[in-house]
Amino acid sequence: MRIASVLEQETMDKKTILVVEDDPNVGESIRLLLKKRGYETLLASNGKEALPLFRQETVDLVITDLVMPKMDGIELLEEVKRLRPETEVIVISAQGTIEKAVQAIKLGAFDFIEKPINPRVISLVVERALEKQTLVLQNRDLRSKLEDKFHLKNIIGRSEKMVKIFELIQHIAPYDSSVLIVGESGTGKELIANAIHYKSPRASLPFVKVSCASLSEGIIESELFGHERGSFTGAIASRKGRFEMAHPGTLFLDEVEDIPPSTQIKLLRVLQEGEFERVGGNKTIQVNIRIIAASNRDLQEAVKNGVFREDLYYRLNVVNIKLPPLRERKEDIPFLINFFIDKFNQKYKMKVKGISQRAMNLLMDYEWSGNVRELENTIESILVIHSPEVIDLPHLPPEISEYREKPEVISIKIGTRLEEVEKELLIQTLKATKGNKRRAAELLGINVRTIHRKMEGKDEPFPA
C-alpha cells in the first residue's frame, strides 16, 4: 500500500528540469520539447546563472551544455554533485567537446547527448535518468522502512529508553543538523553515529571518523584541515584533511571534548560557514558536511569549566542523544546476550545453544561498568574458552560469579530511639531498592503489607 502511494505521488508530481545552454535558440528549443513531454522547465544561459536557480528550486534533473562563458558545464556538474549528489546531470556535447563529455561522465554525469539535438534521443535519455533516480530513492525508502520495522540494524534494545532513542534517530537522520551523542564508554556511541549516517541521504557518501583524543595538539589541525607542502617540518607533501575526505558526507568527531581550544574556534567556523584553510595554505576550501560528535563526558561541565567553547557546544548539540549505561536498562541484557551468542557462534563456527537461567540472573545483577562492550567481550571469551553447549555458572569469570552488590551501610548513633532506627532503615532500604516495596520487604524479612502500614504513618514516629 505504502509503495503504491509513493509511486502514485511520484507520477503525479511534475518533474523539474533545469536546462543550461548559452545559445538561446538551442536552449529554447530543448525547453519547448521538454514542456511538451509534460516536464516543468527552468532555463539559464551559463553555470553561474544556473546555480542560484538550482539552489532555490527543487530540480530533479540538469541538462547542461559544456562550453559556456562564466561557468562551464564541468564546473556546474561538480557543483551540482557537491550540493545534491542524487541529482542526475546530462551534458550536451558539440563537435570537438567529446573529450570533455567523457570527462563529465567520469565526474558523475548520467550520460551525454550530441548536438544537433535529436528530440527522440533527448526524451529517451531524460526518461532513463529520471527513472534511475526514482529507483534509487525508492530503494532507499523501502530499505529503511524494512529496517525500521524491526530495529536499527545490529543495534539491540527493547528498553523504553533505547526505543525512544531509536525513534529519535529515525526522525533526525534525514536532516543535516549536527548531533551530539553522550554516554559512558562502551554504551554504543559509535554504533549510533554509524546508524545515523547510514539512515541519512548521505548514506552512499563518505563517512569519516576522527578520534580526537588520540591526536596530539600539534597534529590535530593538520589532521582535520590538511596541510600544504612545507607548512611545517615534516610536511613534505600537501595533504587532505579529514574534512576534505568527508566531503560531501558525514564527519564523526569522536571524543570531541579533547579538541584543544585553539582548534575549537576553527571547528566552529567550519560548522558555521562550511569553510576553512589547510594548515599553511591561503586558499579557502568549502565543504558540505554533516557533523556527528561523541563524548563520554558531560560537555556542559566542560563548558562551565571553560575548557570547551560554549558557542561550539551549542553548534554541536542541535540534536542531543544521551545513551543510558547498561545498568539503567537491565531488561536489554538478555536480548544482547542472545545477539552476541549468535554473533560469535557465526564467527567461531560454534553451536552454543543459549544460557541457563541462573547464569543469566548473575549477568543481570552485575554492574557492567564497561557497558555493552564489556558484556560483548565477556560472551566472546566464554565461547572461546569453554565452547559450552549452554552457558552456565562454571563458565562465568570470577568477577561476575563473585560479584555482590556492595553492602550499603547506615550509621546510627548509640542511644537513638528504636522507632527512629526502624524508620531510617526502612527509608534507606527503599532507596536502595529504588522504591521496590516487595524487594525491600524481602530484604527486611517482613511482608509488604507491613511496609505499607509503616509508610502510611511515614512522617510520624512508627507505632512501637
Ligand X SMILES: Nc1ncnc2c1ncn2[C@@H]1O[C@H](COP(=O)(O)OP(=O)(O)OP(=O)(O)O)[C@@H](O)[C@H]1O
In the complex, which residues of this chain contact ligand X (CB under 6 A)? 155-157, 183, 185-191, 296, 336, 339, 372-373, 376
Place of cell 572461546: 384
State in angstroms the smallest separation of the CB of 317 from ligand X. Answer: 17
Nearer to ligand X, 343 or 439 (CB): 343
Q: Which stretch binds Mg ion (CB under 5 A): 148-156, 190-198, 243-251, 434-442?
A: 190-198
Evaluate the omega torsion of the peptide bond into residue 116 and state whether it is cis, within 30 degrees of 0: yes
155 makes contact, choosing from ligand X, Mg ion, none, with CB < 5 to 8 Å by partner type, with ligand X
- The SS3 of residue 404 is coil
Alpha helices (runs of H) in 253-397, residue ranges in sequence order: 261-273, 299-304, 310-316, 333-348, 357-365, 371-386
Judged by CB under 5 A, the stretch of 71-79, 103-111, 183-191, 380-388 that binds Mg ion is 183-191
Residue 248: is the preceding peptide bond cis (ω within 30°)?
yes
CB of 345 to ligand X, least distance (A): 15
Shortest distance in whole angstroms from residue 43 CB to Mg ion:
50
CA distances from 78 to 91, 103, 284, 312, 369 (A): 12, 11, 17, 30, 49
Contact of residue 403 among ligand X, Mg ion, none (CB under 5-8 Å per partner type) = none
- By a kind-dependent CB cut-off of 5 to 8 A, residue 372 interacts, out of Mg ion, ligand X, none, with ligand X
Residue 291 CB, shortest distance to Mg ion, in Å, is: 16
Q: Give min distance, CB of 191 to ligand X, in A.
A: 4
In angstroms, what is the minimal distance from the CB of 158 to ligand X?
10
Residue (187 or 429) nearer to ligand X, CB: 187
Query: 141-175 in b/e burial notation, b at 16+ Cβ within 10 A?
Result: eeebeeeeeeebeebbbebeebeebbebbbebbee
Spatial distance between the Cα atoms of 243 and 252, rounded to a whole number of angstroms? 10
**Which is nearer to ligand X, 300 or 369 (by Cβ)?**
369
Binds 156: which of ligand X, Mg ion, none (CB < 5-8 Å by kind): ligand X
Collapsed DSSP state (helix, strand, coil) of residue 306: coil
Amino acid at 364: M
The CA distance from 38 to 43, in Å, is 16
Residue 253 interacts with, from ligand X, Mg ion, none (CB under 5-8 Å by kind)? none
Q: Which is nearer to ligand X, 296 or 317 (CB)?
A: 296
| C-alpha torsion 210→213→219→221, nearest 10 | 60
CB 176 within 8 A of CB 318: no
Backbone region of residue 295 per phi and psi (left: phi > 0; alpha: psi in -120 to 50; beta: other values): beta
Pick the closer one to ligand X by CB: 192 or 352. 192
Query: Is-contact 251 208, C-beta < 8 A?
Result: yes
Q: From Mg ion, ligand X, none, which one binds at residue 249 (CB under 5 to 8 Å depending on kind)?
A: none
Q: Does 380 bind Mg ion (CB under 5 A)?
A: no
188 binding partner (options ligand X, Mg ion, none; Cβ < 5 to 8 Å by kind): ligand X
Q: How far is the CB of 189 from Mg ion (least distance, A)?
A: 5
- CB 374 → Mg ion: shortest distance, Å? 14
Under rule CB under 5 A, residue 190 binds Mg ion = yes
Please say whether the beta carbons of 242 and 224 come within 8 A.
yes
In angstroms, the CA 154 to CA 123 distance is 44
CB of 343 to Mg ion, least distance (A): 18
Helix (H) or strand (E) holding 237: none
Specify the residue, 337 or 396, whose C-beta has the smaller distance to ligand X: 337
Stretch that binds Mg ion, among 1-9, 105-113, 182-190, 243-251 (CB under 5 A): 182-190
Closer CB to Mg ion, residue 15 or residue 189? 189
* Minimum separation from the CB atom of position 244 to Mg ion (A): 23
Q: What does 373 interact with, of ligand X, Mg ion, none (CB < 5 to 8 A by kind)?
A: ligand X
* Under 8 Å between Cβ of 73 and 20: yes
Residue closest to ligand X, measured at CB: 188
Within 8 A by CB and 6+ apart from 251, the residues are 208, 209, 210, 242, 243, 289, 290, 291, 292
Q: Which is nearer to ligand X, 268 or 360 (CB)?
A: 360
Q: How far is the CB of 326 from ligand X (least distance, A)?
A: 9
DSSP 58-87: --SEEEEESS-SSS-HHHHHHHHHHH-TTS
Cα–Cα distance measured from residue 96 to residue 92, given in angstroms and rounded to the nearest whole number: 12
User: Which residue, 223 or 376, has its beta carbon nearer to ligand X?
Assistant: 376
- Based on CB atoms, which residue is closest to Mg ion, 44 or 292? 292
Decide whether 190 or 424 has the Cβ nearer to Mg ion.
Answer: 190
Using the rule CB under 5 A, is 424 a contact of Mg ion? Answer: no
Separation between Cα atoms, residue 207 and residue 221, nearest integer Å: 19
Nearest residue to Mg ion, scored by beta-carbon proximity = 190
Q: 145 and 170 in contact (C-beta within 8 Å)?
A: no
Interacting residues toward Mg ion by CB under 5 A: 189-190
